[in-house]
Structure formats: C-alpha cells, structure tokens
Amino acid sequence: MVAVVEKLYLAKPRGFCAGVVMAIQAVERIAEQLRSSEQSEVAVFHPIVHNDTVVKRLERGHGVRFVETIDEVATLRGQARGDRLSDTVVFSAHGVSPSVREQADAAGLTTLDATCPLVTKVHSEAKKYAARGYHILLIGDSTQHQEVIGTYGEAPDHTTIVAVIDNPNHDPGLVDANDVTVPDPDKVVVLTQTTLSVDDTMRTIHVIKKRFPKLVVPSRDDLCYATKNRQDAVREIGSKVDLFLVVTSNYSSNGMRLLELATKLTGNARRIENVGDIEPGWLEGVRSIGVTSAASTPDDLVQEISRFFQKINPRIEIIEDGEWENITFRQPKPMPPGAPLRVE
C-alpha cells in the first residue's frame, strides 16, 4: 500500500557548488557575447559539469556544442553545419591535461578555462611534487574521469592512479592501495580527486601511509568543501528517513558518492535525474523521504520533487535544516592562442 509521505527532508547544502556556478556562467556569458555574431556557437570540451539537464539546457538555449577532442572543433568548423562555430573553446569545471591546452593552442583556438580553482590547486600540487622528484599516488574513482585524466596529465611519468580501498567495482585500470609500488618509498605524496567519499578516502590514505610511513599528505586534503558539506548533510538526515532520493546524473562522481552514502545509511536510496523518475512502488510504506542533489544538479529539479509530494499531501512537513554555502569563484577570462599559461 502506498503510504502518505508525511515528512520531506531537503538536505542543505545540496546542488550547485561555486565551481559549477562559475563554469555554467562562463559558458552562458561567452554564448551571450557571441549571440549576435556570425559565429554564434561555442564549443565546450567535455560536458561543462556532469549533469544531463544542464548539458541539454546549454545545447538548446545557448548554442553550445560539446566535444570530446580538440580535433572535433576543427572538424566541425570545416563542415557546412559547423560554420556558425566560433574559434573559442571552453574547458569544463573538471580541468584538462596540459596536452589538451597545447592542442587548442596549436589549433589557433581562444580558450576560456572554466576549471574549478579547487581542481587547479590539485594540478599545481602534482606539478610541484613531480618537480621535486616525488612519486604521486592519485586516488581516483576512475581512470576515465575527466578530473583524474587532467591531474594525471600534469605528471604522467610520476603518477600512479590508486583505487579507493575496498571498492569491489573499481575500474581495473586503477591500482590497489595494498599493492601499489613506487620508485622510492621515501618520496611519495598522495593527492586525490576532489569528489570522493570522505570516509573511504581517509581509509585509503591510512593504508598508503602504513605502507609508506614517509608519505606526504598535503596539509589541506584535496577533497573539496562542496563534497564534504553535501556528504555531511546526507549524514544528518540519513537516520530520519525511510527513503533517500539522490538527484544526479550517473556520471557525476560526487553525486554517485552521495548515493552510496545514502544507501549505506538508509538501505533504501534511489538515483533520479528528475521527478519523472520516481516510481510509485518506491513509496510503499514510506512516511519520510530525504532528498539531496549533486553539486552539478540544478535546484529547480529538487523544487519540482518538493511540489510533487506537496500535491499528494498538502499537509506534508518540509524540513530544510543546515546552512547554504557562501563561496564564489571569479570568472575566467578568454585567452588567445599563444598566451602564456596561467600562473598558479
């Protein structure tokens, strides 16, 4: 029997982080600037953030063309249907490896770098420690994640990508922390993808530290504030709800970590893209529901879910404790081809 949901807990914070806001605004601004020109479309290297709704809105409303290689930009520009594509390419919030920057430069493209500054910080650490002769153990959730590819690309000869400990589904390209070997055990540093599970990352670092006692862990760990805060907000709600809904695309690393955490806490969590994915069967016997969303999920999708449950039960209690974050990042500036790389 479908119970009437009496309480809806909305995790706070949830949804867009400062890096995502900056990146989406960067694309919208350049699209707006180009709107009246003959070449009114802009290429974005990789989905600007990992959310299907955001990607579709930018494609449909702002003339954005998402590409996975720099060559694609040149190819599209050479085709009849690509003659509206400008010579600007935007780099996504997840960052790119230096080789992609070089390719864009060689192709004569202006670049707009919307890499989150917290990802850039990890790139800087990779460069710094590689220059000092350290071997980098980069903890990541996939060798195919754009952020991992970008950070790895800063020092590929000095980096091994390590799996989060005890993850049975880990990408076979990742090395187990228990087995990883390094050229010099006295010169090892650990860096991480910014969006991993806090608990699992700390356990992984612990295992690595036991194997390499002189391991350097940069003073401020690399997991970003948005990742930590969204996981904390899920922990606050976990014990109070019968069902957790996590609004995220399945390729959002931080979103999928929220889903794992919510599943661990409640034993009953579901991933949805939007309200349309909610199945009536999920609501059987459910009286309280928690909702959270990835750092790349627009909040109107959560508001729609809230309205959906309010329509079913106008007396539903909406509980939204916690604090919003108050962090903003500066907008990037377009860089013409040949311009010196940003100094970090």
Q: Interface with ligand SF4 by CB under 6 A: which residues? A: 17-20, 93, 116, 118-119, 194-195, 224, 226-227, 254, 295
Q: Which is nearer to ligand SF4, 43 or 49 (CB)?
A: 49
Helix H segments across the chain? Answer: 18-34, 52-62, 70-78, 98-106, 117-131, 146-154, 198-211, 225-238, 253-266, 299-312
147 in active site? yes
Q: How far is the CB of 146 from ligand SF4 (least distance, A)?
A: 11
CB of 201 to ligand SF4, least distance (A): 14
Question: Using CA atoms, how far apart are residues 185 and 26, in angstroms rounded to an integer?
Answer: 42
Supply the minimum distance, in Å, between the C-beta of residue 22 and ligand SF4.
8
Shortest Å, Cβ 195 to ligand SF4: 5
Q: Which is nearer to ligand SF4, 254 or 288 (CB)?
A: 254
d(CA 306, CA 274): 11
Residue 179: exposure state from Cβ atoms within 10 A (0-12, 13-18, ≥19): exposed
Beta bridge partners of 318: 8
- Among the options 72, 147, 154, 317, which is catalytic? 147
Tell me the sheet residues that pair with 192. 139
Longest dimension (CA), the chain: 65
Residue with smallest beta-carbon separation from ligand SF4: 19
- How far is the C-alpha of 322 from the C-alpha of 315, rounded, in Å? 22
| CA angle, residues 60, 325, 278, in degrees to nearest 5 | 50
Cβ nearer to ligand SF4, comparing 208 with 258:
258
Of 104 and 226, the one with the shorter C-beta distance to ligand SF4 is 226
Q: Cite the active site residues.
A: 147
